[in-house]
Amino acid sequence: MAKEKVVLAYSGGLDTSIIIPWLKENYDYDVIAVCGDVGQGKETDGLEERAKKAGASKLYIEDLRDDYVKDYIFPTLKAGAVYEGKYLLGTSHARPIIAKRLVEIAHKEGAVAICHGATGKGNDQVRFELGIKALDPSLKIIAPWRIWDIKSREDAVDYAEAHNIEIPVTKKDLYSRDRNIWHISHEGMDLEDPANEPQLDSLLKLGVSPEKAPNEPKYITIGFEKGEPVSLDGKKLDPRPLVEELNKLGGAYGVGIADIVEDRLVGMKSRGVYETPGGTILYTAIQELEYLCLDRDTQAFKRQSAIKFAELVYDGKWFTPLRESMSAMFDVMDETVTGEVRLKLYKGSVTPAGAKSPYSLYNEDIASFGDSHELYSHKDSEGFINLFGLPLKVRAMMKKKNGLDK
């Protein structure tokens, strides 16, 4: 009789490497490993050999990069979503697309369960499991970190050594890292103490520290169509190559390094260092273009909505009616966000250096200090101020009448 199958979200890292033999020991499942390639780069090299050596019967390496950028990163960028003012959601919006593919392969393989290596203290357990439940609630979910006897990454290394499992870390380098086409995060070890300054020169993977960036600035121009970036320095680029090129440029100039203490969904604070060079450039660029193209009320409402959208993405609620509805709203809001933004990259900073759009709401004739435009007269201001200030005037009169103005 054939064994039941479990689909494992497999990265080849420490946790998922030891989960394969653990699943076979504790469930006697046929383990189907699935690596969702969202831009890990060389981390996918040699995965098939390592997965099968650890005991998996099969490995899928699914190239999700193009869909990830177009259908997950860009909608979040268009929303202007930033979690707690600093985090550009690099890990958060990678999880739903991986969860979606895990469910699809579980259906293809006839698997009864999906397993992930997220810890019981982290956000990813929520993101993976909400995605799975939204797409197929009949699938069983296994989360080893919530039930096994392994208590630390050091214990996990010991388990790997005892089972002769090849792993990409040692006890001297146990940073927990997550890398994709948008960013790389670093957590653990000395970063667990917020009083410690990150040792950027030994920590960074996507670029250099601002101190080691070139002494001369770099100017670039990014083109947008309906809120989505489409070109760099006049050259049309598809979404994925555009992000990849901006990561190189931003990394070389020390852009996009964020030291963050964030509030995890599970209730605790955590500290990490995030590298998001291309993303930092794009967020700066689209905001500058929106200043030019969106009216005051739309901008204000969008800023408020962006906070909620960021929370939805961070909390793993991608496959929800609210997230989908908000994305549709942002699509409408950004229909006129088309044009070009010039930026200066210098020593870790991204500074706007001009923007233009055929849909610009800036009118130089009206904005100038002169009184030559038929749509605006200085004389009109008096009546406007009188009406705008009427509530203040009435309140002041009331206070004076009742002796409250002293």
65 is in an annotated binding site: no
Whether residue 298 is annotated as binding a ligand: the answer is: no
Structure tokens at 334: 């950004």
362 annotated as belonging to a binding site for a ligand: no
Would you tell me how many other CB atoms lie within 10 Å of the CB of residue 188?
Answer: 15
Q: Give 341's Cβ-side CA count (13 Å radius).
A: 28
68 annotated as a binding-site residue: no
Length of the chain: 406
- To the query of whether residue 176 is one of the catalytic residues in this protein, the response is yes
Catalytic site residue 365? no
DSSP strands (E only) in 325-366: 339-346, 349-356
Is 176 known to sit in a ligand binding site?
Answer: yes
The 58-63 sheet, strands edge to edge: 58-63, 30-37, 5-9, 113-115, 140-142
Out of 65, 95, 101, 179, pick the active-site residue: 95
Q: Is 14 annotated as a binding residue?
A: yes
C-alpha closest to that of 349 among 232, 274, 254, 273: 254
Question: Interhelix angle for 277-293 vs 239-252, to 10°?
Answer: 110
Q: Which of 15, 30, 37, 178 is catalytic?
A: 15
The annotation status of 11 as a binding-site residue, yes or no, is yes
Residue 60 marked as a ligand binder = no
The reply, when asked if residue 270 is annotated as ligand binding, is no
**Residue where the block lists tokens 């100039």:** 253
In sequence order, which ranges of 136-211 are alpha helices (DSSP H)? 153-162, 200-203
For residue 124, indicate whether it is catalytic. Answer: yes
The answer to the question of whether 292 is labelled as a binding residue is: no
Kind plus residue range of the DSSP H or E element containing 246: helix 239-252
135 is in an annotated binding site: no
- Does 90 count as an annotated binding residue? no
* 223 assigned to a ligand binding site: no
For the chain, give me the number of helices (H) and strands (E)?
Answer: 15, 14
**113-115 and 5-9 strand pairing:** parallel
Point out the catalytic residue in the list 30, 176, 271, 334: 176
247 annotated to bind ligand = no
Virtual torsion, Cα 46, 48, 53, 54, nearest 10 deg: 100
* Catalytic member of 124, 153, 177, 357: 124
Q: Does 280 count as an annotated binding residue?
A: no
Please say if 15 is a catalytic residue.
Answer: yes
Give the residue numbers annotated as catalytic, written as ranges: 15, 95, 124, 176
> Which amino acids are annotated as binding site, given as ranges?
9-17, 87, 92, 117, 119, 123-124, 127, 176, 185, 262, 274
> Which amino acids are annotated as binding site for L-citrulline, given as ranges?
87, 92, 123, 127, 176, 185, 262, 274
> Which amino acids are annotated as binding site for L-aspartate, given as ranges?
119, 123-124
> Which amino acids are annotated as binding site for ATP, given as ranges?
9-17, 117
